[in-house]
Chain A
């Protein structure tokens, strides 16, 4: 049975149930607009494909767990969750598999991009913490990062079913990654092949998250340069914060995941 009194998590109480429901009611139109924007981007119907229900459920869930005393605005707290619920509903919908093979693959790649770059869910580009001071240059850099990320995801998803032309592109990409240090191969593998977040990788390697975030960015820039100029560049040096992990990995496996993938054909 639901309680009518607010519950407390630590020092921060949630709203009484009536107030939480009222909060959800006030934000209903806003939550629906998130579901609609997801449906528009993927060419689905926000109602027929069930995105409206998922968004409302997430909104209610967030309203009942919302702790005003934390000082975070409700929309800031709830937006990502409502977006996640809408995209999950979209992926399970009948409309998700409709369209040509290329359309379906494109949707799949974009859905995975949202997991690798969760800031996209709130309308933000994955910008570096070290801004160049030039808005347009930063935006372009973020877009390039997304393009390389999407290319890696496309390679992983398409390896089994690629046309000969596509397979050639993917092989080129994998060859560049296979030339990297095993720790770099492992980083790319964990994020794009296993779907880990940068934070998960940092936890697993017992290192500061910033080490992983910055190394990831350097690797994408390296891939970008190698692919756009079409020539091999010298491998990226491992940053000091990841040296210990690199030594451990080299002891365990000399070649790295992508080298093994290439050898296995």
Chain B
């Protein structure tokens, strides 16, 4: 059996709401906890990430060698046999030099007495 809409009871008047009682006083702030030590620094960046934006530490010799090897490899892919050997070598060496002189090896950064 369905109920007729008219059967619904009408909403009567809104009864008065209780007045809010006084705000309870806040509790005093408890003791501030001492600063916790941070966790140890994670592992160092992998070799592939070196030399990129944001690199903030000196490179190891092995990482530097890896980057220089990558330059050779890319040049071989790029030029193949299309460029003369002398020209290719000049370009590859120039890129290596430009990358290399911007890098400070860990040894250079820490050993002020090493020369050249």
Contacts and interface: CB of A to CB of B under 8 A. Distances in A.
A176 B84 CA distance: 17
A187 to B, nearest CB: 21
B13 interface: no
Given A114-B102, A123-B51, A135-B49, A36 B90 contact: no
A105 B116 contact: no
B75 to A, nearest CB: 6
Interface residues of A, number: 64
Contacts of A158: 87
**Chain B binding surface SS class:** helix
Given A124-B55, A138-B52, A113 B78 contact: no
A45 interface: yes
Interface stretch (B4-12, B23-31, B36-44, B93-101): B93-101
B83 to A, nearest CB: 5
State which size class the interface on B falls in: 35 or more
A47 interface: yes
B15 interface: no
A110 interface: yes
Contacts of A135: 46, 48-49, 52
Contact of B99 (A30, A45, A146, A224): A146
A124 B53 contact: yes
18 contacts: A33-B109, A33-B112, A37-B102, A45-B115, A110-B94, A110-B97, A110-B98, A124-B54, A139-B52, A147-B74, A148-B78, A163-B86, A165-B86, A165-B87, A166-B84, A168-B84, A170-B87, A228-B78
What are the 7 A-B residue pairs with the smallest beta carbon separation, nearest first? A41-B101, A109-B94, A110-B97, A29-B112, A113-B98, A110-B98, A165-B84
Interface of B: 46, 48-49, 51-55, 59, 67, 70-71, 74-75, 77-80, 82-84, 86-87, 89-95, 97-105, 108-109, 112, 114-116
